[in-house]
Each structure stands twice: as C-alpha cells, then as structure tokens.
C-alpha cells in the first residue's frame, strides 16, 4: 500500500500514477524512505553478506539506493518472486478506504486475501 492508500500489490507502479501507461519505478516518497532507512543502517555500522528483494522494480530500486548509501553497492542480491506483494486484481490502483466505502470492508478484505488466515484457522 502506498502513501496515498493505493493498493499496488504486484503491479509495479508508483502510488501516484494510475493509468495504462504507468511508471515502473519507486515513487519519490519510496526513494526518500529508502534513503532514510539507509541512513539508519549506516549509523548502526551494519555490514551485510547478501541482500534479498522481490522482482518488483520499485523494490529493486529501493535496495539499490540503500546499498549505495550504506557503501555496499557490490553486495550479492537475491531476487525472489516469493517476496512480491499480494495481487489485488481489479482493486489495484484504487484507494483501499474508498473501495471499502463503496463495496464494504468485509468484501475488500475478502478480495485482498486478508481473510485467508482467518478462514484457515476455522
């Protein structure tokens, strides 16, 4: 979920663009968050052996920013589809609160897979 409450899921787009021709990179806010995370890691003087990221370009760009900022740009990177966000289908690109108001909170929860754990427990 992006800053504006838009459900991005596995769609590789910025939270500020919702159209057929989408940008496929981290948003300005996402880049800034990556820089802030990197600063916190750098201040702790943490060193890593390997980094993991999803296949989404925005995640890879965020990781690139972090690795550059912590002075470990050559770190081995493992890309794994298992780290991708969930798929929101027709809800992708829509504001979660607006969709809940339109279709009901429980319907949105069911469509986004949030009820799977609850159903598995029953």
Residue pLDDT, tens place only, 50-62:
999 999 898 899 9
Confidence check: pLDDT of 96 > 90: no
- Asked whether the predicted pLDDT for residue 80 surpasses 80, the reply is yes
Question: Distance between CA 14 and CA 26 in Å, rounded?
Answer: 6
- State how far the Cα of 119 lies from the Cα of 18, in Å rounded to an integer: 32
Say how far apart CA 24 and CA 14 lie, in whole Å: 7
> Residue 36 in contact with residue 29, Cβ under 8 Å?
no
| Global confidence as pTM | 0.61
pLDDT digits (tens, 9 = 90+) for 20-60: 223 346 688 889 999 999 999 999 998 999 999 999 898 89
Model pLDDT, residue 15: 33
Walk me through the domains of the chain, giving residue ranges and CATH numbers. Answer: 28-121 (3.40.50.1240)
**Comparing 13 with 80, which gets the higher pLDDT?**
80
**Strand ranges inside 6-64, DSSP E:** 51-53
Nearest-angstrom CA–CA distance, 96 and 2? 10
Pair 5, 18: CB distance under 8 Å: no
Distance from chain centroid for Cα 122: 29
């Amino acid at each position: 979920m992006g800053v504006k409450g838009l459900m991005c899921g596995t769609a590789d787009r910025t939270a500020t663009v919702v159209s057929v021709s989408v940008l496929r990179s981290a948003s300005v806010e996402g880049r800034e968050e990556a820089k802030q995370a990197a600063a916190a890691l750098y201040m702790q003087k943490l060193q890593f052996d390997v980094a993991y990221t999803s296949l989404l370009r925005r995640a890879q760009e965020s990781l690139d920013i972090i690795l550059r900022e912590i002075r470990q740009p050559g770190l081995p990177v493992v890309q794994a589809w298992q780290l991708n966000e969930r798929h929101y289908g027709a809800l992708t690109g829509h504001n979660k609160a607006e969709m809940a108001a339109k279709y009901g909170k429980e319907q949105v929860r069911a469509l986004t897979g949030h009820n799977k754990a609850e159903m598995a427990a029953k």
